Amino acid sequence: MERLDLLLLAIEALDLHGSEAMVWSCQQLELKESFPDRVALWKSRCRNPLRRASRRGELSLGERQGLIELACMLSERLYPMLRQLLSSNEPEELNRQRWGLFRDRYNELVRERMNGRRGAIRQLLDPEQGEELRRDMVLTLAFCAGPGGVQRLEASLLDGSR
Amino acid sequence: MTNFSSLAAAAGLSGTQYRLRYEQSSCRLELTGLPDVTAAAEEGAPKQRLDILTNWDLILGQRANLQGKREHLEALVQAVIPYVRLLVSAQPRPLSDSKSVVTLEPSGERHHLVLRSSQPNTPPLELLLDDAELADLNQCLDQMLVDTRMGLNLAVQPPQPLRRGEYRRHTLQRRGQWLPPAIAVGALAMSSLLISLVPLPQRSPVPQLQESSTESTTKSEEQAKP
């Protein structure tokens, strides 16, 4: 759940209207049963124990699947931006600025919503480790965009469970 | 983006030849083939379906133009899709052996794609793809695999969660978490060692003189007894 919520947070950092896009995508994906409104979506995301105001308990299967589908659909929508960030053919200075903008917005969201005393959050906000972790997240989103992304992300989130 | 077009008229072929196209910024995959007119139509299957692959082209920007048969396409899919699955878990490592037709392995911040030709005396084609180019290739292959008009039934295993042994814990969750307990155990061991080095307090010996005097008094008392 931690990783899934942090991926959704990365989507919000990449897209200024990310939270609105999530609500809209829930309707598109017919996830009304799991997330009838934005409050229900917010409550599900608050199952992340790294959050400042986290809720106890596990996600239901429907909620978990819904959040995975949501992350993949939004990744597909943001794919051109993700591609720009990962491409080595983009102008270096421009890409550095793009990564800087993403870092600032992501860190701001992390500070606002996450519990800064948790080790994982301290790593995310660490200048050196955070850079690598943010790149991993953008890479994950880019590879989860598209038709095969849902199965891929679903399998990845269950790593180590076998 | 996909296109489906009948090339029969253009190519002057006796049968109907189909072409499927999947495109991304740096990558274009085109499949050319024929429908299997002898096969019984499945329920819900599209009327126009490419069942027999005659040729495929993969254009990687201006860097390479690859062509091949069905087995080469299958090898490409079997190399790229599982490798990308590992990248999603941030565990890049080569999966296929070095003799496979297509191999893909990490090379610094890039990905080393090697395609070996089946023709003799033809050196393998080696390409270094960056993350964006690999993502484009993966998107094209993904689109092809879910396309119902592509009836090639390519063998691809669905992605599976990694086993504990083959999975290095995700960096975000586990990195550095061993440090606090290690420090605690180390501190405990050090303090026990230091405590063991401190000498135990000795009991102060009873003064000998006093003892001997008491002994002599008791002896004299005994002697004085009748």
Contact B172/A133, CB-based, under 8 Å? yes
Alpha-carbon distances of B29 from A25, A90, B19, rounded to whole Å: 29, 23, 10
Phi-psi bin for B188: left (phi > 0), alpha (psi -120 to 50), beta? alpha
- Mean pLDDT, all residues of chain A: 87
Q: Kindly report, residue by residue over B87-129, the tens digit of the pLDDT.
A: 988 888 887 776 788 888 888 889 998 888 877 888 888 888 8
Tell me phi and psi for residue B97, to 5 degrees: -80, 170
Distance (Å, whole) CA B50 – CA B152: 7
Q: What integer pLDDT is reported at residue A32 of this predicted model? A: 78
Instruction: Give chain B positions within 8 Å (CB) of A152.
Output: 84-85, 88, 159
**Of B135, B161, B171, which has the smallest distance from its Cβ to A133's Cβ?**
B171
Residue at A133 is within a domain: yes
- Is any Cβ of chain A less than 8 angstroms from the Cβ of B111? no
Instruction: Give chain A positions within 8 Å (CB) of B132.
Output: 83-84, 86-89, 142
User: A20: which residues sit within 8 A by CB, 6+ positions away?
Assistant: none
Contact A2/B176, CB-based, under 8 Å? no
ipTM: 0.88
Cα angle vertex A53, ends A47, A59, to 5°? 5
Residue at A162 is within a domain: no
Residue B6: CB atoms within 10 A of its CB come to 13
Domain boundaries, chain B: 2-153
Instruction: Give chain A positions within 8 Å (CB) of B131.
Output: 86-87, 139, 142
Instruction: Give chain A positions within 8 Å (CB) of B173.
Output: 2-3, 120
Q: Kindly report, residue by residue over B162-194, the tens digit of the pLDDT.
A: 887 776 655 555 455 577 788 999 999 999 999
Distance (Å, whole) CA B13 – CA B31: 17
**Of B81, B84, B132, which has the smallest distance from its Cβ to A87's Cβ?**
B132
Q: Is the dihedral of CA A78, A79, A83, A86 positive or negative?
A: positive
**Of B88, B143, B164, which has the smallest distance from its Cβ to A156's Cβ?**
B88
How many structural domains compose chain A? 1
Contact A152/B159, CB-based, under 8 Å? yes
Contact B88/A148, CB-based, under 8 Å? no
Q: What is the dihedral of CA A25, B146, A83, B25, to 10 degrees?
A: -120
Question: Are the C-beta atoms of B56 and B31 separated by less than 8 Å?
Answer: yes
Residue at A36 is within a domain: yes
- Mean pLDDT, all residues of chain B: 78
Q: Kindly report, residue by residue over A78-119, the tens digit of the pLDDT.
A: 999 999 999 988 898 999 999 999 999 999 999 988 888 888
pTM score above 0.80 = no
Which one of B26, B139, B143 makes the best mutation probe of the A interface by having the most chain A beta carbons within 10 Å? B139
Considering only CB atoms, which residues of chain A are within 8 Å of chain B? Answer: 2-3, 6, 79-80, 82-84, 86-89, 119-120, 123-124, 129, 132-133, 136, 139-140, 142-149, 151-162
Residue at A152 is within a domain: yes
pLDDT band at residue A8 using 50, 70 and 90 as cut-offs: very high
Question: Are the C-beta atoms of A27 and A49 separated by less than 8 Å?
Answer: no
The mean per-residue pLDDT over the stretch A134-153 comes to 90
pLDDT band at residue A28 using 50, 70 and 90 as cut-offs: confident
Spatial CA neighbour of A23 closest among A7, A47, A41: A41
Domain that holds residue A30: 2-157
Q: 3-state class of B128 per DSSP? A: strand
Contact B84/A149, CB-based, under 8 Å? no
Question: Are the C-beta atoms of A86 and A139 separated by less than 8 Å?
Answer: yes
The residues with which B102 forms a beta bridge, in sequence order, are B115
Contact A162/B164, CB-based, under 8 Å? yes
Chain A to chain B Cβ contacts (< 8 Å): 114
Instruction: Give chain B positions within 8 Å (CB) of A80.
Output: 25
Question: Are the C-beta atoms of B118 and B111 separated by less than 8 Å?
Answer: no
Residue at A16 is within a domain: yes
Answer whether residue B78 shows pLDDT above 70: yes
CA–centroid distance for B51 within its chain: 32
Phi-psi bin for A77: left (phi > 0), alpha (psi -120 to 50), beta? alpha
Instruction: Give chain B positions within 8 Å (CB) of A86.
Output: 130-132, 135
Q: Which amino acid belongs to residue A79?
A: Y
